[in-house]
Amino acid sequence: MPENVEIIQNKPLGGDYYRLTVSSQSLSRATPGQFAHLLVQSQQEPPTWDPLLRRPLSIYDLEGDKASFLYRTVGRGTKILARAKPGEKLDLLGPLGRGFQLGAAPTLLIGGGVGAAPMLFLAHTLHERGQEFAVLLGARSAQELAHAGDFAKYTSAVFLVTDDGSLGRQGIVTDFVPEIIAQFSAIPKLCACGPMPMLAALAALAAKEKLALDVSLEARMACGVGACLACTCFLRDGNTARVCADGPVFPYEVLDWRG
Amino acid sequence: MVDLAVNLGPLRLKNPIAVASGTFGFGREYEQFYPLRDLGAVITKAVTLEKRVGNKPPRLAETAAGVLNSIGLENPGVEQFLAADLPHLRRCGATVIVNIAGRTIQEYRAVATRLAQAEGIAALEVNISCPNVKEGGIAFGTEPQMAQKVTAAVRGVWPGPLIVKLSPNVTDIVLLARAVVEAGADIISLINTLTGMAIDTDTWQPKLANVVGGLSGPAVKPVAVRMVWQVAQALTVPIIGMGGIMTVEDAVEFLLAGATCVAVGTGNFWQPTLAGALVGQLADYLGARGLNDVNQLVGKVGKGGDKWRNCV
């Protein structure tokens, strides 16, 4: 059921990044990798249906009934969301989708840009389970990695990479995966979210090195619950899957990585 | 007590609130929000003879108070629909209207023939107006003679109530409506999406992989209301009105324009509880005005031009 939630915080982090925290009963049962579908227009206003559609945001972290989201202001919807103030209400649907499958294996979490969004909740959960994991975060520059500090709460194994070398090492995340894997006690499973070129490069690496890799996909969504088939992705076997309901997390080998 | 039941020719519905094809899947995803039997009808996603995987992504682009889509009739095919989806809808107690599509007249006839063998389908809605498939769809919907042939072919094999869903992408909607009524349509659905296009000014690429798509949502509502009104003025055929219904007032507009039933489409994406809630809101709208029958609204729009008469 949609829930009218109160905004606790909606904080600019630098770059175009924001962290939104809401008080939500429905999201308190979420698992890492699931998302919420939000109406960005504050419920204090009469609806104008512009923007019309909800915005799917991965759950960034969850503490009791406080759920947070990491988002970037990339379009009209997220820019309007950035104006929402603490105390205001937002209409939210969730938790939606299938998240990360948690196993016993050590895990390397990889977030490219705002693809860090589902990773903090995953780090939080792995930390609570006492599992071995590390986090690799990439962005264009230091300005877009303000969220990196959030991960220190759950692990000291955080590796940072920027395109311009302004924070952490210079390069792209895929350059550093092999050497980070080597530091684990056993070969880890990879869990990744980020731009498609990054995910495709990781899929190629996983295929070559026979690694397990789960990717969280991003897609334009309308209904968010699996009915409209707008967010469909194509699978290797020629079938389709709904990113909203069958995903957003998929084992990389079921997906069709041809352009 | 307000009476919400409506008759659309041979089709009787418990209330005039339906959900529009393609926005509601086969109902499963929306059961969590309200019982499907509360609706006047569930109009299913288009069913074709064979399974279809649909168009390449991206299939969606938001526009001002609207949305462009190019799903491309992705569906599991008629056999899977009959095996899994129809039985499920019947178990939910839903009144089921099955939307059908095809590439050729033979395909339309074959799907309708197969569905005629099944129990529990209240009506067929023939989709002759999908803008998102290259073959068939749009030509059937924009050329009166083609529309007539498809309608007649389905009429020949489907004995139950027959709805034809028309495309708004025509110069004269009455011409198309008249053509399909002459060919045996009992009911007209108005409107399917308006063809549209959006371009990303950073990449200079179309926002939809299919380049063009169908526009829906509040942005198209005035066009839809006008077309419902035009057809209602010209013909006696019952009309299911749809296009950007987000509130009970929107639904009432369509009824006043001449629709006997309305369908919520894109509004389901905005608020998944919407269609279920509109049933009660419509009763409240009528009750607040001392009306006890929803049919008292149908086609009751004034002639316009009387500046002192803005309210009922």
Low-confidence ranges of chain A (pLDDT < 70): 259
Backbone angles phi, psi at B69, to 5 degrees: -130, 155
CB contact under 8 A, B30 and A227: yes
CATH of range A107-215; options 3.20.20.70, 3.60.21.10, 3.40.50.720, 3.40.50.80: 3.40.50.80
Q: What is the pLDDT of residue B306?
A: 72
Rg (CA), chain A: 18
- For residue B142, report the phi and psi dihedrals to the nearest 5 degrees: -115, -15
B33:A51 CB<8 A: no
Q: Measured between alpha carbons, how far is residue B176 from residues A140, B128, B132, B187, B228 in Å?
A: 55, 11, 20, 13, 13
CA nearest neighbour of A180 among A122, A142, A136: A136
- Find out whether A213 and A235 touch, Cβ atoms under 8 Å: no
What is the distance in angstroms between the Cα of B245 and the nearest Cα belonging to chain A? 11
% residues pLDDT > 70 (chain B): 95
State the DSSP code for B84.
I
Looking at residue A9, its pLDDT comes to 97
User: φ and ψ at A7, to 5 degrees?
Assistant: -80, 125
Residue among A3, A37, A218, A232 with most chain B CBs within 10 A, to mutate? A232
Q: Do A52 and B218 touch (CB under 8 A)?
A: yes
Sequence ranges of the domains in chain A:
3-96, 107-215, 217-259
Burial class (CB in 10 A: 0-12, 13-18, 19+), B308: exposed
Residue of A78, A223, A256 to mutate for B, most B C-beta atoms under 10 A: A223
SS3 A19: strand
**Tens-place pLDDT, residues B225-253:** 999 999 999 999 999 999 999 999 999 99
B106 lies in a domain? yes
Report CB contact under 8 Å: A54, B269: yes
Q: Is residue B62 part of a domain?
A: no
- CATH number for the domain whose boundaries are A3-96: 2.40.30.10
**Position B308 pLDDT exceeds 70:** no
Mean pLDDT value of segment B149-162:
97
Radius of gyration of chain B (CA): 18
Helices B173-182 and B144-157, interaxial angle, to 10°?
Answer: 30
Catalytic residues of B: 130
Q: Which pair of tokens denotes residue A115?
A: 């693809």
Domain-embedded: residue B193? yes
- Is B310 domain-assigned? no
- Which domain CATH number covers B242? 3.20.20.70
Position B131 pLDDT exceeds 80: no
- Give CA–CA dist B140/B126, Å, rounded: 10
Strand ranges for B128-203 from DSSP E: 162-165, 187-190, 194-197
Predicted ipTM of the assembly = 0.95
pLDDT value at residue A45: 77
The answer to whether residue B274 is domain-embedded is: yes
User: CA nearest A77 in B: which residue?
Assistant: B62
Q: How far apart are CA B258 and CA A195, in angstroms?
A: 49
How many beta-carbon contacts under 8 Å exist across A and B? Answer: 107
Side by side, the strands of the sheet bearing A169-170 are A169-170, A158-162, A133-139, A107-112, A189-193, A213-216, A249-251
Chain B CB within 8 Å of residue A1 CB: yes
Strand order in the sheet with A89-96: A55-58, A35-38, A89-96, A3-14, A17-23, A66-72, A61-63
Provide the shortest C-alpha distance from residue B233 to chain A (in Å): 30
Output the CA torsion A78→A82→A83→A85 (10° steps).
130
Any domain includes B175:
yes
Residue B252 is assigned to a structural domain of this protein: yes
What integer pLDDT is reported at residue A215 of this predicted model? 98
Q: Which residues of A touch B29 (CB under 8 A)?
A: 223, 225-227, 245
How many degrees, rounded to 5, is the angle at CA B79 between CA B77 and CA B85?
Answer: 85
Residues of chain A found within 8 Å of residue B69, distances taken between Cβ atoms: 222, 228, 230
Q: Is pLDDT above 60 for B134?
A: no
Q: Which of these CATH numbers, 2.10.240.10, 3.40.50.1820, 2.130.10.10, 1.20.1250.20, describes A217-259? A: 2.10.240.10
Number of domains in chain B: 1
Gap between the Cα atoms of B288 and A158, Å rounded = 62
Could you give the CA distance from residue A91 to residue A54 in angstroms, rounded to a whole number?
9
pLDDT at B133 over 90: no
Q: Which residues touch B265 (CB under 8 Å, ≥6 apart)?
A: B19, B20, B21, B22, B23, B216, B242, B243, B244, B245
Query: How high is the pLDDT of residue B138?
Result: 64
Instruction: Tell me which of B60, B74, B247 to substitute to probe the interface with A (most A C-beta atoms closer than 10 Å).
Output: B60
| Phi, psi dihedrals of residue B241, rounded to the nearest 5° | -100, 140
Residue given tokens 């302004």 in the structure block: A166
The predicted-structure confidence for B253-278, as pLDDT tens digits, reads as follows 999 999 999 999 999 999 999 999 99
Query: Are residues B272 and A221, on separate chains, in Cβ contact within 8 Å?
Result: no
pLDDT (mean) for B276-302: 97
**Span B78-98, average pLDDT:** 98
